[in-house]
């Protein structure tokens, strides 16, 4: 089957709609703001963050190991407030997507994102992401994180959709490729205008699998 109507739009959140929740730039900024060794903290972060993102530990348990493993001259509450404040809305995309969803109610929109529970809940509530998403496949809730193929299979199962009926946008090429291996039409999000152009095209015509598997989209 070469052509299929778009049934499900899968989207990453960090790097597409919002800034990353706790990326390396935010961690470097935290080291400068609070005056601790970034490289020392980053080694511990690499050990612990995946475990946090799949929901095995809480944010406080992550911080116990990564930041508050020694006396600090700042409080846990101040540090967590700083972490949450790093989540910002990216220009144009979120508000446009909300309007696009209202115009295309036959297409379901589901997030597939790697996020620790506290950050995930904060971002959903702060930016009212229920306005554009029908469901959230978040790593902290399902115990898997991208690029594990299981999280994409779970998302398709929740959506009750075949791969050829789905389009997935992510800003990271590795995760685009992980979705493509399962037959999902995956495209790298490179900015508002390019993603907008693709979605405007898709709402009016079937998905051309050959076109969307062309490397020029990445």
Nearest Cα to Cα of residue 85 among 11, 17, 30: 30
Alpha carbon distance 70, 1 (integer Å): 59
131 and 58 belong to one structural domain: no
Q: What is the pLDDT of residue 5?
A: 76
Q: For 20-60, how does the pLDDT look when each residue is reduced to its tens digit (9 = 90+)?
A: 989 999 999 999 999 999 999 999 999 999 999 999 999 99
106 and 193 belong to one structural domain: yes
Q: How many CB atoms lie within 10 A of CB 29?
A: 14
Alpha carbon distance 11, 113 (integer Å): 8
Identify the bridge partners of residue 11 per DSSP, sorted by sequence position.
111, 169
65 and 153 belong to one structural domain: no
Q: Do 110 and 184 touch, CB atoms closer than 8 A?
A: no
Question: What is this structure's pTM?
Answer: 0.91
Alpha carbon distance 91, 102 (integer Å): 19
Q: Do 188 and 176 touch, CB atoms closer than 8 A?
A: yes
Total number of domains constituting the chain: 2
Q: Is 112 helix (H, G, I), strand (E, B) or coil?
A: strand
Alpha carbon distance 167, 9 (integer Å): 5
153 and 117 belong to one structural domain: yes
| Domain edge (last residue) among 86, 120, 140 | 86
195 and 125 belong to one structural domain: yes
CB within 8 Å of 49: residues ≥ 6 apart: 22, 62, 66, 116
| Residue carrying structure tokens 């060794």 | 37
Q: What is the pLDDT of residue 217?
A: 45
Alpha carbon distance 22, 29 (integer Å): 11
Give me the CATH number covering residue 156: 3.40.50.1000
Q: What is the pLDDT of residue 215?
A: 45
Measured at the alpha carbon of residue 117, what is the angle toward residues 195 and 30, in degrees to the nearest 5? 80
* Structure-block tokens of residue 59: 């944010």
Q: What is the pLDDT of residue 201?
A: 87
Q: What is the pLDDT of residue 48?
A: 97
Q: What domain range includes position 50?
A: 24-86
Residue stretches of the chain with pLDDT short of 50:
1, 215-218
């Amino acid at each position: 089957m070469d052509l299929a109507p778009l049934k499900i739009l899968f989207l990453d959140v960090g790097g597409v709609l919002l800034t990353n929740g706790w990326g390396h730039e935010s961690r470097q900024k935290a080291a400068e703001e609070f005056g601790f060794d970034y490289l020392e903290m980053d080694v511990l972060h690499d050990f612990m963050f995946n475990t946090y993102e799949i929901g095995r530990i809480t944010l406080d348990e992550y911080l116990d190991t990564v930041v508050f493993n020694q006396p600090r001259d700042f409080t846990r509450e101040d540090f967590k407030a700083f972490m949450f404040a790093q989540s910002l809305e990216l220009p144009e995309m979120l508000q446009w997507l909300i309007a696009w969803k209202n115009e295309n109610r036959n297409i379901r929109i589901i997030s597939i994102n790697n996020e620790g529970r506290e950050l995930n809940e904060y971002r959903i509530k702060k930016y009212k992401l229920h306005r554009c998403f029908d469901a959230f496949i978040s790593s902290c809730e399902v115990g898997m994180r991208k690029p594990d193929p299981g999280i994409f299979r779970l998302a398709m199962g929740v959506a009750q959709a075949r791969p050829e009926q789905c389009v997935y946008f992510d800003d990271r090429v590795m995760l685009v490729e992980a979705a493509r291996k399962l037959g999902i039409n995956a495209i790298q999000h490179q900015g508002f205008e390019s993603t907008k152009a693709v979605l405007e095209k898709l709402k009016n015509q079937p998905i051309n699998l050959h076109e969307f598997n062309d490397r020029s989209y990445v």
